[in-house]
Amino acid sequence: MPHIIPIRDLKKTSELSQMCKNAAEPIFITKNGYGDMVIMSMEVYEKKMYLIDVYAKLNAAEEQIHQGNVLDADESLKSLRKKYNV
């Protein structure tokens, strides 16, 4: 369940910092009853950014497959073995 707090609670910096560290997801800040901002711990932020990077790479790989830019697995492995003398 997402954490939602009013903007006036931003004054409680120590409590807010602890809340961010304990939460496994972003915390939503409201202003006059409407969504205004989102805050999160560095750990949650780094995980989100990592997932965005993974999804972008998967999307690029799927696009390459769609365009036919693929290599035969056996040929690719032979090439790598030759390159690294394995």
Return the pLDDT at 8: 95
Q: 12: left (phi > 0), else alpha (psi -120 to 50), else beta?
A: beta
Q: What pLDDT was estimated at residue 1?
A: 80
pLDDT at 40: 96
- Per-residue model confidence (pLDDT) at position 34: 96
pLDDT along the chain (86 residues), means of 10: 92 94 94 96 96 98 94 91 92
CA distance 30 to 2: 13
Q: What is the pTM of this model?
A: 0.72
Tell me, letter by letter, the H, E, C secondary structure of the chain: CCEEEEHHHHHCHHHHHHHHHHCCCCEEEEECCEEEEEECCHHHHHHHHHHHHHHHHHHHHHHHHHHCCCCCHHHHHHHHHHHHCC
Q: How is residue 70 written in tokens?
A: 């693929």
